[in-house]
Amino acid sequence: MTAQTHDDAVDMSEFRSTVRAFANAEILPGAAERDESKEFPAHLMRRLAEQDLMGISVPEEFGGLGLSTRAQLVAVEEVARADAALASIYTAHYLGLEPILVGGTEEQKKRWLPGLASGEVLAGFALTEPDAGSDIASMRTVARREDDGWHLSGSKTFISNAREADLVVLFAKTDPSAGFRGITAFAVPKGTPGISYSEPQDKMGIRSAPTYTVYLDDVVLPHDAVIGTEGRGGNIALTALNRARIDVAAMANGIALRAWELGREYASERKQFGHPIFEFQAIQLLLGECDAKLVASRVTADWASDVKDAGQDLRRAASISKFVATEACFSIVDQVVQIHGGAGFMRESEIERLYRDCRILRIFEGTSQIQLLTIAGNAPSIRSTEY
Ligand SMILES: Cc1cc2nc3c(=O)[nH]c(=O)nc-3n(C[C@H](O)[C@H](O)[C@H](O)COP(=O)(O)OP(=O)(O)OC[C@H]3O[C@@H](n4cnc5c(N)ncnc54)[C@H](O)[C@@H]3O)c2cc1C
């Protein structure tokens, strides 16, 4: 799919400044309290919708802003810089709308996308199961076609936004013997009978972004709940994940940017041996490395965005952008903890929260190992001049 974008009308640095001002005023101040209370920030999701940030790269014909993926990355980065947990809810929404965008029928796009793009409808994406994580083809949730509709049974786990979402795209086997080709995607509206949820799962980080185990007990969906066509769900899931992995890269870049700011600030204020520690070369080396890694990660994410918007094969670029940015983010945050010394280990310091929050980025939407396998599997041939 080649994106028709309207970036010409938008000054990207102005757009960044606007989102940053909003995030500094409304998101950053309460992030530590939300980490403590684990409360779902419904009011902030409403505020993101009011700022018109819920369908940035969704085409205008379906109610979105029709901007480029780069523009979406700016918003994700700025939200993550202020609160990684909110960014996780936010990017799970984008992940949830992607299957409809890439795999839905025209009728489904018209029915669902305007509400999703305006933020009136919050999305979720339910693929993972207790025994099927990286290996999605081994999923056990089944959907049986009957006269009155599809009957779904099984369970999903670690599902972000599951209980809060108005629409969850859920994957089930319609042909259990067919492996990957037996998977079908379903649109599941909130309140569908037969669905129940665990309590929010207690997590190391992004604690105000709830995840749930979801139980499906003979859930009946209408025949037209199938997104696209039967048996295409595996493909739709992987295509959606590829597109959304760039958002995770942006989330990593936002957290890394905040960590770098905190490192700079602390190094200027903290004095040892009669000098601000910033004057010691060992600290400058750490900060220099953080800056270099962050710039490289941002450039890589922008490159992957351009590959996506050009409608080219995205698998390798998306995995490279996620792998590079999330590994760099973890290293940057760890180095900034080091710059803080003992203060960085204390619950009251912001960098301690960032350390816990950023750990998930190397796991969800495909672990770093899965990204590397995708990169290796899609690398150009040694005879190609693509390098
Ligand atoms: C906070 C959070 C939010 C999440 N949100 C969602 C969501 O909204 N929707 C959703 O569907 N899922 C969600 N997930 C699930 C997430 O995507 C999975 O946890 C992730 O894909 C890994 O699957 P797994 O946990 O089963 O690990 P496993 O697949 O069991 O992997 C365990 C380890 O084995 C490695 N491994 C597995 N296979 C291979 C291989 N072939 N080669 C080399 N190494 C391998 C992995 O890299 C990893 O290190 C979320 C998870 C968390 C923790």
Domain architecture of the chain: domains with CATH = 7-122 (1.10.540.10), 125-231 (2.40.110.10), 235-377 (1.20.140.10)
Give, for ligand 1, the residue of 367, 369, 370, 375 to mutate: max count of ligand atoms closer than 8 Å to Cβ: 367
Q: Is 126 in the pocket of ligand 1 (CB under 6 A)?
A: yes
Predicted pLDDT of residue 147: 98
Residue of minimum CA distance from atom 7 in ligand 1: 159
Predicted pLDDT of residue 385: 85
Predicted pLDDT of residue 9: 67
Ligand 1 centroid to residue 257 C-alpha, Å: 26
Residue of minimum CA distance from atom 38 in ligand 1: 134
Q: Which atom of ligand 1 is nearest to the CA of 124?
A: 8
**CB of 214 within 8 A of CB of 162?**
yes
DSSP state of 185: E
Q: Is 133 in the pocket of ligand 1 (CB under 6 A)?
A: yes
Ligand 1 centroid to residue 319 C-alpha, Å: 15
Q: Rounded distance, CA 206 to CA 354, Å? A: 9
Continuous H helices in the chain: 12-22, 31-37, 42-50, 69-82, 84-103, 106-118, 233-269, 281-309, 315-340, 350-358, 368-377
Q: Is 364 in the pocket of ligand 1 (CB under 6 A)?
A: yes
Predicted pLDDT of residue 8: 67
Q: Is 171 in the pocket of ligand 1 (CB under 6 A)?
A: no
pLDDT tens digits for 153-186?
999 999 999 999 999 999 999 999 999 999 999 9
Catalytic residues, by residue number, are 365
Predicted pLDDT of residue 334: 98
Q: Rounded distance, CA 371 to CA 17, Å? A: 32
Q: Rounded distance, CA 298 to CA 293, Å? A: 9
Buried b or exposed e, range 285-318, using 16+ CB within 10 angstroms:
ebbeebeebbeebbebbbebbebbbeeeebbbbb
What is the C-alpha R_g of the chain? 21
Ranges of the chain whose pLDDT falls below 70: 1-6, 8-9
How far is the CA of 229 from the CAs of 92, 287, 327, in angstroms? 23, 50, 36
Q: Which atom of ligand 1 is nearest to the CA of 369?
A: 47
Q: Is 241 in the pocket of ligand 1 (CB under 6 A)?
A: no
Give, for ligand 1, the residue of 125, 326, 364, 373 to mutate: max count of ligand atoms closer than 8 Å to Cβ: 364
HSE of 242 in the Cβ direction (CA atoms, 13 Å)?
22
**CB of 157 within 8 A of CB of 128?**
yes
Ligand 1 centroid to residue 29 C-alpha, Å: 31
Q: Which atom of ligand 1 is nearest to the CA of 96?
A: 8
Predicted pLDDT of residue 386: 77
| Token pair of 251 as six digits | 């989330």
Tell me the CA end-to-end span of the chain in Å, nearest whole number: 24
The model's pTM: 0.97
Q: Is 333 in the pocket of ligand 1 (CB under 6 A)?
A: no
Q: Which atom of ligand 1 is nearest to the CA of 171?
A: 11
Predicted pLDDT of residue 182: 98
How far is the CA of 67 from the CAs of 56, 88, 92, 244, in angstroms? 6, 21, 19, 16
Instruction: Tell me how crowded residue 46 is: count the other CB atoms within 10 A of its CB.
Output: 13
Nearest to 49 by CA among 101, 83, 93, 7: 93
